[in-house]
Amino acid sequence: MQARALWIVGEQQAELRSEALPQPKAGEVRVRTEFSGVSRGTESLVLRGGVPEDQRETMRAPFQAGAFPWPVKYGYTSVGRIEAGALPLGTPVFCLFPHQDAYVVPVEAVTRVPDGLPLQRVVLASNLETALNAAWDSGVGPGDRVSVVGGGVVGGLTAWLLGRIPGVEVELIDVRSERRALADALGVSFASPEAARPDRDCVIEASGASAGLATAIAIAGVEARVVVLSWYGAGAVPVPLGGGFHSRRLTLRSSQVGRLPPERAPRFDLRRRLATVLSLLTTGPELEVLVDSEGSFAQLPDDLVRVAGGGGGVLCHRVRYGE
């Protein structure tokens, strides 16, 4: 059998390539992809060759082929159905696999999609894992006043999660005024950076911009925690550590999905975290507002450059297969 996969082959260049698809062996499954999602922040770094040399092994996706900067087959949000192998035919599954129309993986690499969860919504799973880690790292509890700087997919998902904690007041901050509608759909308030509320108990920085990090530090209250979700790649980022940073005794904490928070690691593993994320997705039909772009797999080389290249302010781009 033959499969087709998306490869990034140069700066702002992508193409579809064919490859042989083996028959599944004992303990393996063949998945026929129905949807995948573009993780815009990370994939934009890959597309422009921005993965730092000393982070190239750390940043490898589970089933990545090739090596950074390129050519590389990259991605980690694939949803499909079992076509052959060790699980019943037609079983809906999620896998951390690149953009490819069919693939063979060990059975333990796939997670069954819960009944009642539309497959098209599952493209948010990887980003929701990142948001869940951020929520854990934040330490936010009932009664806290929280700001999320950056109304992209990860910022929106984090705001949605924290806003579901009883008594938590969440403000989503973004330079794009049109993100107010997103905040409304997610059930949180909205502000521009200039109108952001001060003296916050916790601030999540998910903007991907140094100005967003400056806003996060500026609005954090005394002894507050600023959780940095943005990953800036190889770029140098100015951090405003003057002014009230020391007198307010702020804490800067990085949050990254590759590791579980230490207080949960003794009890959680990555499979339990993913199962939690899929369960959360079943309760959030409003999250589909984050998927605001869609195209066929055949169009993906052009769509990836458009979306991950930053054009048009797209949130999540969903890829349809089987056309």
Local confidence band at 41 (pLDDT 50, 70, 90 cut-offs): confident
What was the pLDDT predicted at 296?
98
Output 235 or 313, whichever has higher pLDDT. 313
Contacts of 20 (CB under 8 A, 6+ apart): 1, 2, 3
Local confidence band at 37 (pLDDT 50, 70, 90 cut-offs): very high
Local confidence band at 45 (pLDDT 50, 70, 90 cut-offs): confident
Give the mean model confidence (pLDDT) for residues 115-136: 97
Could you tell me which of 64, 98, 95, 65 has the C-alpha nearest to residue 82? 95
Give residue-wise pLDDT tens across range 161-218.
999 999 999 999 999 999 999 999 999 999 999 999 999 999 999 998 999 999 999 9
- Domain boundaries defined on the chain: 2-113+284-320, 127-254
Cβ 232 vs Cβ 206: under 8 Å: no
Cβ 159 vs Cβ 148: under 8 Å: yes
The sign of the CA dihedral 190, 196, 202, 208 is: positive
Give me 226's structure tokens. Answer: 């600023």
Contacts of 242 (CB under 8 A, 6+ apart): none
Residue found by looking up tokens 């949130």 in the block: 315
What was the pLDDT predicted at 311?
56
Cβ 222 vs Cβ 37: under 8 Å: no
Residue 118 three-state SS = coil
CA distance 91 to 107: 12
**Mean pLDDT for the chain overall:** 95
Give the chain's length: 323
pTM (two decimals): 0.95
Q: Say what percent of the chain tops pLDDT 70.
A: 99
Tell me the sheet residues that pair with 65.
73
Cβ 137 vs Cβ 161: under 8 Å: no
What was the pLDDT predicted at 309?
74
CA distance 255 to 227: 6
Indicate if the pLDDT at residue 78 is higher than 60.
yes
For the structural domain made of 2-113+284-320, what CATH number should be given? 3.90.180.10
What was the pLDDT predicted at 3?
98
What was the pLDDT predicted at 312?
60
Q: Say what percent of the chain tops pLDDT 90.
A: 87
CA distance 214 to 175: 13
CA neighbours within 13 Å on the CB side: how many for 107? 13
Least confident of 10-19, 45-54, 222-231: 45-54
CB atoms within 10 A of CB 184: 14
CATH class in words for 127-254: alpha beta
Give the mean model confidence (pLDDT) for residues 224-235: 88
Least confident of 41-55, 85-99, 111-125, 189-203: 41-55
What was the pLDDT predicted at 310?
63
Give the mean model confidence (pLDDT) for residues 18-46: 94
